[in-house]
Amino acid sequence: MKILFLVPYVPTLIRVRPYNLIRTLASRGHHITLLTLWTDEAERAAIRDLEPYCQKIYAYPLPNWRSLYNCGRALPTSTPLQAVYCWQPELAATLRDLILESAPDDRFDVIHIEHLRGAKFGVELLSEGQKHPQTQENLWPPIVWDSVDSISHLFRQASSSSKMGFSRLITGFDLPRTEKYEGWLTGQFNEVLVTSHVDKEAFQSLIPSDGNQEPVITVLPNGVDLGYFKPDETVSREAATLVVSGKMSYHANINMVLYLVNEIMPLIWERRPDVKLWIVGKDPSNEILALAKNPAISVTGFVESVLPYLHKASIAVSPILYGAGIQNKVLEAMACGTPVVATPQAISAITAKPDENILVGETPEAFAQATLELLDNEIFRSKIGNAGRLFVEQNHDWNKIGEDLENIYTKVKQQKFQPQLS
């Protein structure tokens, strides 16, 4: 199939979902044309890594001023800030030309658009193309919108659970219109994808009651590159070492780390003062950088790969307080055979079984106790780590996920669909 793949940020090994979907689809013989946006020179350079998998790549800059301008224009409207943040007229014009002005031999079989930040490109394309000859002749390619997560579900949690006042303010402000907009979007595209049943239920609760057709919302989970994230028996694990990872400028991760250091680690250090904590991830906030004053805590900032830290750590911890979709950091650690301790929120979107292939602690006391049990028992650590690897192999293989996405494309190509634009 000829697939037009629109992602409002550069797919990379950090943004694992679009990167691996593109890579997997290409390996299955499909022809990918990528439309994307870059915000700095590092992202622009990363586009080269996608060239082996794409027939063509159209990439445009998204400077900070444009995102701020987009959000400023949206403030007095009913459109959520997330929906306009990545709007870029050049990319929109390229999308229009590729779809509406293409020769018969160049027409795409399906359009794949990722994230709430990308959805507006699809909506504007549909609006402009309603009376176009291709639409009238049923030559319009179906659109699959991969929402990834329900952003309103994330905002609902952040507005009540975030320990950061500004985060609560912004998410609380944008929540009502994000809910309404996400509900409306479910009726605009042939199929909506989400990473988890939690997000599917969140979207279903937002569907307007006056729609002419029932939206199709399908769970397509995230996977793990099992050839990359795998155990390495040649690396010795460092004793009494915990690792927590993620993009450390993201509000949910900042809250996670502050909760870990302020409420969980003191309980662990009370019994095991020898325990060290590695905080691994790019762009650490000032609050996180300040934690490195404690000699037991290391804050790495940007690293080329989290893999060495997952191989060397005794335990990976993920005390997420709120979030949407699948926590990739959990799956990657499990794939490396590293035992994981997580909160219920961190595993709400995966089917891992507590005490079988992962340990779960709902309170600071329970989280600390689970971590200490692993620290004190090497055999138990090995058991949980091995079971975690097996779980990921059986449930989160990108090859199987790519096959499922291919089947979704095949299905929507055969459907008649009328977007509910208004």
With a pLDDT cut of 70, the percent of the chain lying above it is: 91
Residues 144 and 89 in one domain: yes
Residues 185 and 106 in one domain: yes
What is the chain's mean pLDDT, rounded?
Answer: 91
Q: What is the arithmetic mean of pLDDT over 323-342? A: 88
Partnered with residue 112 across adjacent β-strands are 5, 144
Residues 6+ apart with CB under 8 A from 304: none
- Flag whether pLDDT at 222 surpasses 60: yes
Residues 30 and 150 in one domain: yes
- Flag whether pLDDT at 213 surpasses 80: no
pLDDT digits (tens, 9 = 90+) for 379-413: 999 999 999 999 999 999 999 999 999 999 999 99
Residues 80 and 195 in one domain: yes
Residues 179 and 309 in one domain: no
pLDDT score recorded for residue 208: 86
Residues 273 and 179 in one domain: no
Copy the structure tokens of residue 416.
């008649």
Q: In what order do the strands lie in the sheet with 143-148?
A: 56-61, 31-38, 2-7, 110-114, 143-148, 191-194, 217-219
Entry pTM = 0.82
- CA nearest 217: which of 239, 246, 191? 191
Q: What is the arithmetic mean of pLDDT over 321-342? A: 88
Q: What is the arithmetic mean of pLDDT over 4-20? A: 94
Task: Answer yes or no: is 351 within a domain.
Answer: yes
Task: Answer yes or no: is 418 within a domain.
Answer: no
Domain that holds residue 115: 2-223+399-413
Q: What is the arithmetic mean of pLDDT over 336-352? A: 93
Residues 140 and 18 in one domain: yes
Residues 386 and 405 in one domain: no
pLDDT score recorded for residue 6: 99
Residues 38 and 187 in one domain: yes
Q: What is the arithmetic mean of pLDDT over 312-335? A: 89
pLDDT score recorded for residue 414: 87
pLDDT digits (tens, 9 = 90+) for 225-249: 999 999 999 999 999 999 999 989 8
Task: Answer yes or no: is 229 within a domain.
Answer: no
Task: Answer yes or no: is 130 within a domain.
Answer: yes
HSE-CB of 43 using CA atoms within 13 angstroms? 16
Kindly report the backbone phi and psi dihedral angles of residue 259, in degrees, each rounded to the nearest multiple of 5, phi listed first: -65, -45
Residues 99 and 55 in one domain: yes
Q: What is the arithmetic mean of pLDDT over 161-170? A: 57
pLDDT score recorded for residue 131: 64
Task: Answer yes or no: is 307 within a domain.
Answer: yes
Residues 23 and 132 in one domain: yes
Residues 406 and 384 in one domain: no
- Flag whether pLDDT at 344 surpasses 90: yes
Copy the structure tokens of residue 100.
């509406």
> Among 282-286, 346-350, 374-378, which stretch is predicted with the lowest mean pLDDT?
346-350
pLDDT digits (tens, 9 = 90+) for 45-97: 999 999 999 999 999 999 999 999 999 999 999 999 999 999 999 999 999 99
pLDDT score recorded for residue 154: 78
Q: What is the arithmetic mean of pLDDT over 273-300? A: 96
Higher pLDDT, 130 or 22: 22
- Other C-beta atoms lying within 10 Å of the C-beta of residue 66: 17
Concatenated DSSP letters of 379-390:
HHHHHHHHHHHH
pLDDT digits (tens, 9 = 90+) for 404-422: 999 999 999 988 656 665 5
pLDDT score recorded for residue 134: 56
Task: Answer yes or no: is 271 within a domain.
Answer: yes
CATH code, domain with 73 = 3.40.50.2000
Task: Answer yes or no: is 311 within a domain.
Answer: yes
Concatenated DSSP letters of 272-316:
-TT-EEEEE-SS--HHHHHGGGSTTEEEEES-S-SHHHHHH-SEE
How many domains does one find in the chain? Answer: 2
pLDDT score recorded for residue 419: 61
Q: What is the arithmetic mean of pLDDT over 123-143? A: 74
pLDDT score recorded for residue 250: 84
